[in-house]
């Protein structure tokens, strides 16, 4: 794919000059569904069940959020989870990391459907409590998971029931434990590996079977497009992991998947609550997963780059998510905003 002509020189310079640390951001928040569906496919084997329960109990970290936003008509069967990817590198001396990846998943049990929304990390939003407008990635730095949840709730005007926070380290381990995944590479590109070796990873355009290192390069590169397309690639990786995790050949590898997740995750979901999501994932070919995208444009405020969200697109997305949680049917959608697919 050719470089997008609409990207400004300043924007391209900003991309090319990203620090190594920023490139090593987490993408492993997309891996929890693989663990959940793995338990289902393994028919709750005693060993895996016990091991997973121990892992989830050690990862359990509830957040005191005070009076959390609620919808009176939302049932316990319709739920939202925010997946937060962070750079929890040892290089950081103190304080919270910025979130590098935010993906919201809403579940509708009756329709057997999931909606996935990737929120660009540079989105220009209001940060509650701080009463400022800045990049949404800063919410985690200012107030950790709690402020990130509050910020996303304020942006989308829906309740965020649960969170899952994971860091970079689990990403490659989980994909390797599953024996790799299949992804459709939109263009040929070269990217550095996890050890910052420049030009170490090259992927050709087309359907590819990739290992953890290659999947990381596929998910984080943005030299040839933007954060929006980066979010779409991350959604594709989530779907690929789900597809691989449901295959019979992957059952023997679930123990390694659980170990990878255990070291790098915190959540306010209990083990029993996680098991309840198996009903969604057991749907197999009947499970519909729809990817949503927030349209916007490049913007500079006082010389700082932001992703300015398109208000019409934001309003449409808010309505889709709200109706999904309420069990209502959304009237119409623009193809450029949303892309639907079913797991087959």
What the chain holds in terms of domains, given with CATH numbers, is 9-342 (3.40.630.190)
For tokens 């309420």, the residue is 326
Angle at 15 between CA 135 and CA 221, to 5 degrees: 100
For residue 148, pLDDT over 80 is answered with yes
Count of other CB atoms within 10 angstroms of residue 278 = 16
Predicted pLDDT of residue 277 = 67
pLDDT at 253 over 60: yes
**Among candidates 300, 185, 275, 179, which has minimal Cα distance to 237?**
185
Do residues 103 and 235 make contact, with C-beta atoms less than 8 angstroms apart? yes
pLDDT tens readout for residues 272-283: 777 776 655 655
Contacts of 250 (CB under 8 A, 6+ apart): 38, 41, 178, 179, 244
Question: pLDDT tens digits for 98-144?
Answer: 887 898 999 887 888 889 998 998 999 999 988 899 999 999 999 99
Q: What is the pLDDT of residues 88-99, one digit of tens each?
A: 544 444 567 888
pLDDT band (50, 70, 90) for residue 330: low
pTM: 0.73
């Amino acid at each position: 794919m050719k470089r997008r002509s609409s990207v400004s020189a300043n924007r391209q310079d900003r991309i090319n000059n990203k620090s190594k640390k920023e490139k090593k951001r987490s993408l492993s928040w997309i891996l929890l569904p693989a663990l959940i569906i793995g338990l289902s496919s393994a028919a709750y084997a005693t060993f895996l069940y016990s091991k997973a329960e121990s892992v989830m109990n050690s990862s359990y970290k509830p957040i005191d959020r005070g009076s959390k936003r609620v919808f009176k008509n939302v049932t316990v069967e319709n739920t939202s989870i925010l997946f937060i990817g962070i750079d929890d590198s040892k290089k950081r001396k103190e304080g919270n990391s910025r979130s590098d990846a935010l993906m919201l998943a809403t579940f509708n049990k009756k329709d057997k459907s999931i909606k996935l929304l990737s929120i660009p990390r540079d989105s220009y939003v209001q940060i509650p409590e701080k009463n400022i407008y800045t990049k949404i990635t800063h919410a985690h730095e200012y107030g950790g998971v709690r402020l990130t949840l509050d910020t996303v709730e304020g942006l989308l005007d829906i309740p965020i029931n649960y969170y899952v926070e994971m860091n970079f380290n689990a990403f490659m381990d989980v994909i390797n434990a599953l024996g790799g995944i299949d992804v459709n590479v939109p263009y040929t590109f070269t990217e550095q590996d996890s050890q910052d070796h420049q030009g170490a990873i090259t992927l050709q355009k087309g359907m590819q079977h990739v290992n953890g290192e290659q999947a990381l390069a596929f998910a984080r590169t943005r030299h040839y497009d933007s954060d929006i397309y980066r979010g779409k690639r991350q959604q594709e990786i989530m779907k690929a992991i789900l597809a691989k995790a449901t295959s019979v050949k992957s059952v023997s590898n679930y123990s390694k998947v659980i170990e990878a997740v255990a070291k790098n995750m915190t959540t306010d979901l209990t083990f029993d609550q996680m098991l309840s999501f198996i009903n969604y994932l057991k749907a197999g070919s009947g499970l519909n997963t729809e990817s949503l995208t927030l349209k916007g444009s490049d913007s500079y405020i006082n010389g700082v780059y932001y992703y300015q969200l398109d208000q019409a697109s934001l309003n449409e997305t808010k309505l889709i998510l709200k109706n999904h949680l309420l069990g209502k049917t959304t009237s119409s959608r623009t193809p450029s905003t949303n892309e639907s697919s079913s797991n087959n």
